[in-house]
Structures are given as C-alpha cells and as structure tokens.
C-alpha cells in the first residue's frame, strides 16, 4: 500500500503489453492509480479492466507517440485530466536490428523519434506540473544496449544511450525542483518486441528477464522514500547477457 493519501497516480506509456502492462498491474497492486498510454485501444482497454479489477483507478489514452510534434500537448491534456501525477514511466519504444552500414535514414529517424524524442516530449508534458508540486518521479526504460555496443543493434543502441544521457541530464537539472529521474536499463526481457517485424533475432527467450520482474524493480524504485533515488539501474538476467 502507498504511504501517500490520496493515492499516488502514474502515467505509463507502452502500457498495452510487455513491461508497460506488467508495470500497470504491479502499480495497481501497490495501490497506485494509472493512466495508460498506447496505440492499441483494444489491448489498452483489457489492461484497464484488469487494473480496475485490482481496485484502483485506471484510464486509457490511445495515442501514437511516433507523432512527436503532438506528444507534449497530448501529455499536458492527460495531466489536466488525471492529475495529480506523481510518477511517469516512459516505457514505450521499438526494437530495431540491422548493421549501421545498411540502416536507411528513414529507419534511423523512426527509431530516434520513438525511443528518444517522444520520451523528451512526454517528459516536457508533465514537467511543469511536477515542478509546481515540487515532487515527482520519472522512470525512463532504456536498455543495457545503451551501455554496451551490440553489433546489429546500432540504431537501437544509440537511441537508448541517448535516453540514458537524457535521464542523467534531466536528473541534474530537476533535482532542485524535487523531481527524481531514473535511467532503468534492463537486459533482454521476454516481451512482444522480439516478434515485431523490425527485430530479427533468435535468442533463448526462456533465459530472459520477465516483464513482471522488471515491473517489480520499477515499483521498488518509485516507492523509495522521497529523500532517496536510484538514478541509474542495470537489471540483468542472472544467467547473464544473451
């Protein structure tokens, strides 16, 4: 149960499956209300139903974060509708494989837009609200690929390295405003990202982290006392990198 009354409230992106869905359910069990953002309305509504069954408030916001020029205003609208917002989990992103020499500019820009620029815009959409309240926790779901180069994952690795740098800069700038920022870098997680048409990889998914394990770690992070923050987390499968 949360120590705060009224309940804490969170926005989670990429909430219809994988880490986002698992985080929504973990937050609900911890008595945190959730605003859920994703492109897929039907999948999102199923998660909202599951969260409400646990006994907290949930609301679906169907948005395509790839439309980066609209994201900031859309997030300001979510904040106005669902406030107060205590937590933002920037989890939405895409996987992409291909060596750099063969990566088309359009693909590169698509990966950067969703994995990095949209997070920047989501964050700006909630930042003024968190500053006004002098509190808030922002968790950016990056990847171990942002810290270690994996051949064939160039555009993805660069986008996640940028996200880690964004998180660290934001943490330094917003500390004085009572805002905590976490760069959360998991190793391989068994999510639907491996089934998408932009990822060509054949790994043993049974050895990966589960979305539920990642979600529990995110939950522990946001429930730390306000005087503490873990700014940089690398969460690996105990069996090691794949």
What band does 198 get if pLDDT is binned at 50, 70 and 90? low
Please, what sign has the CA dihedral across residues 59, 65, 67, 69?
positive
CA–CA distance, 61 with 81 (Å, rounded to integer): 10
Q: Does position 65 have pLDDT exceeding 60, yes or no? A: yes
Percentage of the chain modeled with pLDDT above 90? 73
Q: How many CB atoms lie within 10 A of CB 174?
A: 18
> With the C-alpha atoms ordered 128, 6, 12, 58, is the resulting torsion angle positive or negative?
negative
Please, which residues bridge with residue 35 across strands?
11, 59
User: How many Å separate Cα 195 from the centre of its chain?
Assistant: 19
Reported confidence tier of residue 186, pLDDT bands at 50, 70, 90: confident
| Band of pLDDT at residue 6, cut at 50, 70 and 90 | confident
pLDDT at 196 over 70: no
Give 72's Cβ-side CA count (13 Å radius): 7
d(CA 78, CA 71): 10
Name the average pLDDT for the chain: 90
- Torsions phi, psi of 189, nearest 5? -120, 135
> Active-site residues: which are they?
156
| Alpha-helix runs per DSSP H in 38-181 | 41-54, 68-82, 105-112, 118-133, 154-174
At the top level of CATH, the class of 9-235 is alpha beta
Looking at residue 233, what is its pLDDT? 85
Whole-number pLDDT of residue 80: 98
pLDDT at 151 over 70: yes
Predicted confidence band of residue 4 (pLDDT cuts 50, 70, 90): very low
Dihedrals phi, psi of 101, to nearest 5 degrees: -60, -20
Residues 41/117, Cβ–Cβ less than 8 Å: no
Domain ranges of the chain: 9-235
Percent of the chain with pLDDT over 70: 87
Q: What is the pLDDT of residues 34-45, one digit of tens each?
A: 999 999 899 999
Looking up tokens 């859309």 gives 74
pLDDT given at position 2: 42
Q: Is the pLDDT of residue 22 over 70?
A: yes
Q: Is the dihedral of CA 149, 166, 194, 98 positive or negative?
A: negative
Whether 97 shows a pLDDT value over 90: the answer reads no
Q: Assign 197 to helix, strand or coil.
A: coil
For residue 232, the surrounding DSSP H or E stretch is strand 232-235
Nearest to 29 by CA among 1, 57, 59: 1
pLDDT at 199: 59
């Amino acid at each position: 149960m949360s120590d705060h009354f009224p309940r804490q409230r969170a926005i989670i992106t990429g909430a219809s499956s994988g880490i986002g869905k698992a985080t929504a359910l973990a937050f609900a069990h911890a008595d945190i209300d959730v605003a859920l953002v994703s492109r897929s309305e039907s999948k999102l509504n199923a998660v909202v139903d599951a969260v409400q069954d646990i006994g907290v408030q949930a609301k679906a916001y169907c948005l395509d974060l790839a439309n980066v020029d609209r994201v900031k205003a859309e997030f300001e609208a979510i904040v106005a509708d669902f406030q107060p917002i205590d937590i933002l989990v920037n989890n939405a992103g895409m996987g992409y494989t291909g060596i750099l020499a063969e990566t088309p500019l359009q693909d590169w820009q698509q990966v950067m837009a969703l994995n990095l620029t949209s997070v920047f815009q989501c964050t700006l959409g909630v930042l003024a609200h968190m500053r006004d309240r002098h509190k808030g926790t922002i968790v950016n779901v990056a990847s171990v690929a942002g810290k270690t180069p994996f051949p064939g994952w160039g555009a993805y690795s660069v986008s996640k390295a940028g996200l880690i740098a964004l998180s660290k800069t934001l943490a330094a700038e917003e500390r004085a405003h009572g805002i905590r920022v976490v760069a959360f870098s998991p190793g391989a997680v068994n999510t639907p990202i491996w089934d998408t048409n932009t990822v060509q990889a054949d790994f043993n998914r049974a050895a990966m982290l589960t979305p539920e394990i990642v979600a529990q770690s995110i939950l522990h992070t946001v429930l730390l006392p306000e005087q503490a923050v873990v700014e940089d987390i690398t969460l690996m499968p105990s069996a090691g990198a794949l």
